[in-house]
Amino acid sequence: MSSQLNEPVWLLPFQGMEVGDSFFVPTLKPATLIYVIESRAKAVGMRVRAYTSTKDGYLGVRVWRTG
């Protein structure tokens, strides 16, 4: 039996974000998620900064709205 970990569903709560707001998304694939976040933000006309981070011991990506 494989002990493979499944990637959580990525929810990107862009709607309602103000400049300076941030959110954290847990992931085992931060580089892939950063690409997805930046692509989706651009598609909706939003500027963001996304960085690999940890929260409560979980690897993930922290995203801030910058514009």
The string of pLDDT tens digits covering residues 2-57 is 556 677 677 788 888 999 999 999 999 999 999 999 999 999 999 999 999 999 99
> pTM of the predicted model, to two decimals?
0.82
30 within a domain of the structure (yes/no): yes
54 within a domain of the structure (yes/no): yes
Range of 38's domain?
22-65
14 within a domain of the structure (yes/no): no
pLDDT value of residue 17: 92
Count of structural domains, the chain = 1
| Residues facing residue 26 across a β-bridge | 60
